[in-house]
Structure 1
């Protein structure tokens, strides 16, 4: 019997961690440079030290592409802090290196790493992964990096004012990752009027967004704001027309139940839903999945379509070596890249094979690569949490994957 899905990550309550948290607890991007509108910078050209032009939210015609749209590159980050990971840090870094290499089999990967850790990251990841020296605290590029939108003015990045998931973890550097990354590539920056994370957003590319109330309508991110106010901001920022809200779960994990661990679009009109094992005892997580199912069964998308729902069952924790109470045992946190789908491999062979088959069927024409991420999962995260795509502009050819060193695994192999 699989135990109920646990919290995402336990933060070490060491004096060092608490001191860092106290220092950075209110950290978010400031408002300098956020007013006004500007045409996009020269996309993909590193800044010589200047600041990416800022733009007002709601620039006409901008929208967030679906994840399965072509990418220019994937961003990831090298976990930096022993005070967060403790003795798990070497294993987590091993998983990040394997994940970066797997994604690099399909498209360019840029791994952000502190300058004093960059050589270590390069050695671990190999020549197929580009390492960019930029100050980070942790590995969650989905949440700390910008959320990209495209439109008539080109590419822009939405800075969602990352605040450590409501002040739960040190983020003095991570709170500035979106701004610094956009500055480096001279990409237009849009400072959001709300606070949130990329993992709290799931779009179909045709006007529909899914989100949990628990990770948005929460005083630890957006005090005093109603769901309607937050929804209006999301629509304006991301170019969506309809938001499907799930209740989620507040206060039980560090993310307050991000949607990317609950439900994902496989294509417009099709939603993949995390489902607990049939014999899982009822708890807040089984309730969240059931509530999301109820919403989806009665919902239509922005184009009026009824939704097809595909269950993605979790593995049996009893079959997973080293799985503890904080293990994020879900396959829903997968990543779609150019020509591929990167899927967790936990060690429950039956469930691993079943998930790979379901996702292969849902993404025809893409190869499935299974990656062992048990150290990351033991800390409560997954593949999607650790990656953030930069979409290619419409009409542009996506950048090819770097040449693989001789003797490396093919993209379709398990890693």
Structure 2
């Protein structure tokens, strides 16, 4: 049976998210926890204006989730520890022979490489739970992978990062060829474009070791949007150049040369812990909308909305405060997962 992963721009049946639960990621004080709850809820409410949203909540958080989200978001109950649905949940795919038939790739999740700080055993089961709740076929995989580690154009081209799927803490015996074969089986990949690394902050103790969804994404076939750190005082200035260099001269699975669009980073360079990894690339495309990160930088936020509006014509660009999400290790794309509609692949 052949599967293919639709582009994020394809029509969605709904968006899946996971509600925060208490632990190191959410925060140690009441104020920190409230900030985290509200950040996740704000993203869910923004998306719910454009398509259905289902929020998976731990039994300890179901009441809070329903109070904060109201009637506009469906809340279902399942054990949750890590609440980055892009990574802990499944990746939805379509059957190539019967586009009405949707599947969900259930990757192995091991806490981004079995990090000591990660609490992941409960959420490692969410791939199966979401597939069953969505009423779609579960596509089992033995690859340790996260949804934030891949992007697709929906036509067989996959972006990935050498430091994620080939990470020996994730897949100690992996090679490019083995990963590409598994992507072909589960995602319909015909070409994988390997990027050399992710952003600098992503290699800190609490990082993902280089997720691609913070550095580059397809906005349409043969068009890639790339994080552009323009300030040479930030270490990601060199990383941006390296990512762009890796993409230049590349073609997609159809043989079309890639067109590269730059998405400038916000102006802030550091926080209390080092160079920030704030990136507008980590947005979410919903039905008729783009849910964009806002970093409290009026000039840069407005510029990002303009770039995203041009990259996704016909979609409304909605900015949502993303700093509390990035403070906890990710962005808007990291906490969302699209379930495509059955039907035409366009």
Normalising by structure 2, what TM-score? Answer: 0.92
Q: Which residue of 2 aligns with 1:115?
A: 59
- 8 Å contact kept, 1:78–1:138: no
- 8 Å contact kept, 2:230–2:237: no
Matches of 1:254 and 1:188, distance apart in 2: 31
Q: Which residue of 2 aligns with 1:91?
A: 35
Which residue of 197, 200, 207 corresponds with 1:254? Answer: 207
- 8 Å contact kept, 2:102–2:137: yes
Q: Which residue of 2 aligns with 1:127?
A: 71
Q: Deviations over 1:304-345 (max 9, x none)?
A: 111111111110116x9x775374311000000000000011
Quick check: 1:63 aligned with 2:1?
no
| Total equivalences in the alignment | 333
Matches of 1:108 and 1:251, distance apart in 2: 34
Matches of 2:336 and 2:152, distance apart in 1: 16
Q: Deviations over 1:137-178 (max 9, x none)?
A: 132000011101101351110011111101121111111000
Structure with bigger RCO (C-alpha 8 Å, 6+ apart): 1
Q: Which residue of 1 aligns with 2:92?
A: 148
SS in 1 for 2:143: coil
Matches of 2:275 and 2:284, distance apart in 1: 21
- 8 Å contact kept, 1:327–1:380: no
SS in 2 for 1:354: helix
SS in 1 for 2:72: coil
Q: Deviations over 1:11-64 (max 9, x none)?
A: xxxxxxxxxxxxxxxxxxxxxxxxxxxxxxxxxxxxxxxxxxxxxxxx22x100
Q: Which runs of 5+ in 2 are unaligned?
A: none
- 8 Å contact kept, 1:247–1:288: no
- 8 Å contact kept, 2:158–2:189: yes
Q: Which residue of 1 aligns with 2:311?
A: 362
Q: Which residue of 2 aligns with 1:305?
A: 256
Q: How does 1:75-86 map to 2 (within 5 A)?
A: 75-85=16-26, 86=28
- 8 Å contact kept, 2:85–2:335: yes
Quick check: 1:338 aligned with 2:287?
yes
CA gap of 1:391–1:70, structure 2 versus 1, over 3 A, is: same
Quick check: 1:270 aligned with 2:211?
no
CA gap of 1:220–1:302, structure 2 versus 1, over 3 A, is: same
Matches of 1:79 and 1:299, distance apart in 2: 39
- 8 Å contact kept, 1:274–1:331: yes
Alignment RMSD: 1.8
SS in 1 for 2:290: strand
Which residue of 173, 176, 189 corresponds with 1:227? Answer: 176
- 8 Å contact kept, 2:165–2:174: no
Normalising by structure 1, what TM-score? Answer: 0.77
Which residue of 279, 292, 316 corresponds with 2:267? Answer: 316
More strand by share: 2
Matches of 1:352 and 1:138, distance apart in 2: 28
Q: Which residue of 2 aligns with 1:386?
A: 335
Please report how far the alpha carbon of residue 279 of structure 1 lies from its aligned counterpart in structure 2 after TM superposition: 3.3
